[in-house]
Every structure is written in structure tokens, then in C-alpha cells.
């Protein structure tokens, strides 16, 4: 299938991901992650928030020098000094992007910013104009967009576009929205603000209700052409939309999401593993795409099905996401087929009478023991020289 339009993948693992508990990274680690993200094929790497700390400033500088193909983005508030700091950190980037943001919801304006709506409009205009002196690509985010007044967001976005913003980002900062509602917001911005202007609509979803990926997909269908996400879904609180889930949803359901992206999906698992080795936690075993059990089958019926044809229970192959091979876990729910297949992988051949006999020992053992290892299988089988050695 040929897809005419591209969805840009904006990775914020090094910024929104890194700022969450247990996820801080040293400079060298950020550089290593940035290299891997380029190998993966992301279009934009958000490398930090330069005004927040010297460490973030240096990270943006270093990633800017390192990246060859990806655009490097630096975050800043709609404050001119922040914009200068971001611009300075991005000086050596081949493709720099300044990403400036301000909250637009009444609750943030009243309690956090203590600003009026008119003041936020002025800040937006001034910051974007300043940013355009340093970068051709300027992204503007309306923080807490999903809890903001829709007419006001459109007004702020109109101001941003007039001032020179090239990307309008709609964040679901607190992970509050629902797919249909979010799609409506994106459609409204597309119709009322963007029209046929050369401006990209982006979305940035948090996962507080477990909907970050679903909301991002709904947004694509409604007109967003950039999605912001993180490896393993790390990020503030319950995290950001998971890059690997988004990309594989687009790949597996290309029939319904007919857009292309530049991700090499076989790099998804290596990227996930690299991040887990850097930060202080990995993913849960049942995490979609990259979890230890994502391609593991234990129930006998499932194992038989997968061994006969993986499509019975797998909608994508482990190889397509860079997982070495499918992982049949032997346990008390496993059937004869899986047992036989494991012996064959270990290099042993048995006829069906022998397998029946071994299988009854296996079931008795599996009732007593949670995990069955290859040594256990060796112990319950008749003595035999492995085929490879015998030959």
C-alpha cells in the first residue's frame, strides 16, 4: 500500500521522559540515546529544556552537535530570555527547532501563571517572533489545551501562526481527554486556524487514563501530522504516548491509518532495551510491543496455534519489532506440541509414543514447579544424544 502523507514522529524521551522520577540521564547517556533515536528514524528529538538547568543546556548542545538527520528541538516558555537560551543551546544543530509553550486553560492562568488571557496572547506573539529570528521551525504548544476554552485556544493559535509558528501542538497535558473529544478539538483547530496554511498540527498526549496512544491515533485521523511520544512511554506521572505502540498501531492497522512514517520498526526493541539499561526501571512484562511477554505464549491451545501458524495469535512478528524470536514459555498450561518443539530446538527427536510418555512426566512436574527450564526437560526425557552431536 502506498501512503501519500507522512506522520512525523517527535520523540521527547530526553525531555518529557527524562524529567519524570527515576528517568534522569547523564550527558553521555543522552547522546547514546540520541544516536539510537536517529537509527530508529525519528524526525524530531526534543533534547531538553535549556533554561531549566545547565545540564539540560549542555544536553541540547551535545545532541545538536551529534544529530545528523533528525531535527533537534529545545523547549522554552514564552519568555524572551528562555527563547534566547534555547536558541543558544541549538546553535550547532543542523536542523534546529525552538519549541515554546504557555498554558491556555483558565485554571493554569489563574493559579499558576497569574496572567489574563490577553497577557498570554501578548506573550505568545513576542516569544514566537523572537524565536523566528533564530530558527525557521518554531513549534508552539498550548499547555493544558484539552481543559481550555476552545475559542480561546483558536485565538491563541491564530496569534501564534501570525507571529510565525510553523507547528501548532495540542497537548493533553493531564491525560484527561477522550478519543472522540480530542478528535473534535483537532478538527476544530484544523478548520478554524490552519485551513490551507503551511502549518503542521501536532499532538502530545499523557497517559493518566491509559488513553495516550488511543487519543494520538484519533488525532491523526482528525488531521494531526506530528505525534509526540517517548520510548517505553516514560514521562510525567503515568507517562507520555508510547512511541513503539503508536508506530506499531500505524503499521499493523495501515488499512485504517493510511499514512507513512520513517521509523525502522526493527529498531524498536533495541531502543527500548537501551533506555531500560540507562534509567532505573524497565517495562512491565505485559507491556505491548516491547514487554518480555509481548510475544510469549503459554496456554497449550495458543502454543499449538502459534507453532502451526504464528498469525493465529500474533498480529505482528517479533522480528518486525526487533525481538529476537517468539518466546514459548513452558509451564503447566503448555501442550504436547510446544514441548515437542522445544525438544527439537534443543536438538532432540522423539516419536509420538515417546512424547506421550515424556509429556505425562512434564505435566506432573509443571504442577509442582512454576517455571520449567531446559535442565528439567533433560531430566525427564529418555537418555539420548542430541541430533546435531550424533551427526
> Could you list the residues that contact Zn ion (CB under 5 A)?
16
- Between residues 210 and 285, which has the closer beta carbon with respect to Zn ion? 210
Residue 137 interacts with, from Zn ion, ligand KIV, none (CB under 5-8 Å by kind): none
- Between residues 236 and 245, which has the closer beta carbon with respect to ligand KIV? 236
Question: Going by DSSP bridges, is the β-strand pair 44-48/167-172 parallel, antiparallel, or unpaired?
Answer: unpaired
Residue 66 interacts with, from ligand KIV, Zn ion, none (CB under 5-8 Å by kind): none
Residue 13 interacts with, from Zn ion, ligand KIV, none (CB under 5-8 Å by kind): none
Least distance in angstroms from the C-beta of 228 to ligand KIV: 7
Least distance in angstroms from the C-beta of 256 to Zn ion: 26
Residue 97 interacts with, from Zn ion, ligand KIV, none (CB under 5-8 Å by kind): none
Least distance in angstroms from the C-beta of 33 to ligand KIV: 18
- Between residues 148 and 303, which has the closer beta carbon with respect to Zn ion? 148
Taking CB under 6 A as the rule, which mask of x and - marks residues 158-187 in contact with ligand KIV? -----------x-x-x--------------
Least distance in angstroms from the C-beta of 80 to Zn ion: 23
Least distance in angstroms from the C-beta of 14 to Zn ion: 13
261 makes contact with ligand KIV (CB under 6 A): no
Residue 143 interacts with, from Zn ion, ligand KIV, none (CB under 5-8 Å by kind): ligand KIV
- Between residues 80 and 238, which has the closer beta carbon with respect to ligand KIV? 238
- DSSP alpha helix (H) spans, the chain: 27-40, 54-66, 80-89, 106-107, 117-132, 150-163, 179-189, 212-222, 243-252, 268-278, 300-308, 336-346, 352-368, 374-380, 387-390
The residues, any chain, with a CB within 8 Å of residue 240's CB and separated by 6 or more, are 12, 16, 17, 204, 205, 206, 207, 212, 228, 229, 230, 233, 234
Residue 215 interacts with, from ligand KIV, Zn ion, none (CB under 5-8 Å by kind): none
Give the binding-site size for ligand KIV (rule: CB under 6 A): 9
Taking CB under 6 A as the rule, which mask of x and - marks residues 196-225 in contact with ligand KIV? --------x-x-------------------
- Among residue numbers 85 through 114, which ones bind ligand KIV (CB under 6 A)? 101
CA–CA distances in Å: residue 237 to residues 22, 170, 206, 291:
11, 19, 8, 20
Which is nearest to 172 in space by CA: 201, 143, 139, 199?
143
Kindly report the backbone phi and psi dihedral angles of residue 22, in degrees, each rounded to the nearest multiple of 5, phi listed first.
Answer: 80, 5
48 makes contact with ligand KIV (CB under 6 A): no
141 makes contact with ligand KIV (CB under 6 A): yes
Kindly report the backbone phi and psi dihedral angles of residue 207, in degrees, each rounded to the nearest multiple of 5, phi listed first.
Answer: -110, 25
Buried b or exposed e, range 247-278, using 16+ CB within 10 angstroms: bbbbbeeeeebeeebebebebbbbbbbbbbeb
Which is nearest to 209 in space by CA: 181, 250, 169?
181
Gap between the Cα atoms of 332 and 368, Å rounded: 9
Residue 141 interacts with, from Zn ion, ligand KIV, none (CB under 5-8 Å by kind): ligand KIV
- Between residues 105 and 272, which has the closer beta carbon with respect to ligand KIV? 105
Least distance in angstroms from the C-beta of 24 to Zn ion: 16
Gap between the Cα atoms of 100 and 323, Å rounded: 37
Residue 164 contacts residue 139 (beta carbons within 8 Å): no
Which is nearest to 156 in space by CA: 174, 173, 168, 166?
168
Gap between the Cα atoms of 92 and 67, Å rounded: 10
Q: How far apart are the first and last CA of the chain?
A: 46
Least distance in angstroms from the C-beta of 94 to ligand KIV: 23
Binding-site member from 18, 143, 155, 244 for ligand KIV (CB under 6 A): 143
- Which three-class secondary structure state does DSSP give residue 110? helix
- Between residues 171 and 305, which has the closer beta carbon with respect to ligand KIV? 171
16 makes contact with ligand KIV (CB under 6 A): yes
Residue 101 interacts with, from ligand KIV, Zn ion, none (CB under 5-8 Å by kind): ligand KIV
In the structure grid, which three cell numbers stand for residue 354, read together?
515417546
Gap between the Cα atoms of 113 and 119, Å rounded: 10
Binding residues for ligand KIV, per CB under 6 A?
16, 101, 141, 143, 169, 171, 173, 204, 206
Amino acid at each position: 500500500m502506498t501512503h501519500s502523507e507522512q506522520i512525523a514522529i517527535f520523540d521527547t524521551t530526553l525531555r518529557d521522559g527524562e524529567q519524570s522520577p527515576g528517568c534522569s540521564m547523564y550527558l553521555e547517556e543522552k547522546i547514546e540515546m540520541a544516536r539510537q533515536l536517529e537509527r530508529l528514524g525519528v524526525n524530531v528529538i526534543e533534547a531538553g529544556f535549556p533554561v531549566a538547568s545547565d545540564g539540560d543546556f549542555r544536553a541540547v548542545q551535545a545532541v545538536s552537535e551529534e544529530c545528523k538527520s533528525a531535527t533537534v528541538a529545545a523547549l522554552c516558555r514564552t519568555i524572551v530570555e528562555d527563547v534566547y537560551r534555547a536558541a543558544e543551546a541549538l546553535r550547532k544543530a543542523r536542523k534546529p527547532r525552538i519549541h515554546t509553550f504557555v498554558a491556555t486553560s483558565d485554571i493554569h492562568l489563574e493559579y499558576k501563571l497569574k496572567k489574563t488571557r490577553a497577557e498570554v496572547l501578548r506573550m505568545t506573539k513576542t516569544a514566537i517572533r523572537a524565536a523566528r529570528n533564530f530558527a525557521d521551525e518554531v513549534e508552539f504548544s498550548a499547555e493544558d489545551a484539552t481543559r481550555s476554552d476552545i475559542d480561546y485556544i483558536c485565538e491563541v493559535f491564530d496569534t501564534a501562526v501570525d507571529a510565525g509558528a510553523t507547528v501548532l501542538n495540542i497537548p493533553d497535558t493531564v491525560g484527561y481527554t477522550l478519543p472522540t473529544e480530542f478528535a473534535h478539538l483537532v478538527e476544530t483547530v484544523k478548520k478554524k486556524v490552519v485551513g490551507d496554511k503551511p502549518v503542521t498540527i501536532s499532538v502530545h498526549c499523557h497517559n493518566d487514563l491509559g488513553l495516550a496512544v488511543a487519543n494520538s491515533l484519533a488525532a491523526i485521523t482528525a488531521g494531526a501530522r506530528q505525534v509526540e511520544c517517548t520510548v517505553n512511554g516514560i514521562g510525567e506521572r503515568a507517562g507520555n504516548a508510547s512511541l513503539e505502540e503508536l508506530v506499531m498501531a500505524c503499521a499493523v492497522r495501515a488499512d485504517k491509518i493510511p499514512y507513512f512514517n520513517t521509523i525502522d520498526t526493527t529498531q524498536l526493541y533495541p531502543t527500548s532495551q537501551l533506555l531500560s539499561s540507562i534509567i532505573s526501571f524497565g517495562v512491565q512484562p505485559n507491556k505491548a510491543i516491547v514487554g518480555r511477554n509481548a510475544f510469549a505464549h503459554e496456554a497449550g491451545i495458543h502454543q499449538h496455534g502459534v507453532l502451526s501458524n504464528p498469525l493465529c495469535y500474533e498480529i505482528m512478528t517479533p522480528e518486525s519489532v526487533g525481538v529476537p524470536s517468539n518466546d514459548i514459555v513452558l509451564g503447566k498450561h503448555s501442550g504436547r506440541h510446544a514441548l515437542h518443539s522445544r525438544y527439537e530446538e534443543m536438538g532432540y527427536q522423539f516419536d509420538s509414543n515417546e512424547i506421550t510418555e515424556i509429556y505425562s512426566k512434564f505435566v506432573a512436574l509443571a504442577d509442582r514447579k512454576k517455571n520449567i527450564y531446559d535442565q528439567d526437560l533433560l531430566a525427564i526425557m529418555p537418555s539420548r544424544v542430541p541430533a546435531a552431536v550424533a551427526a
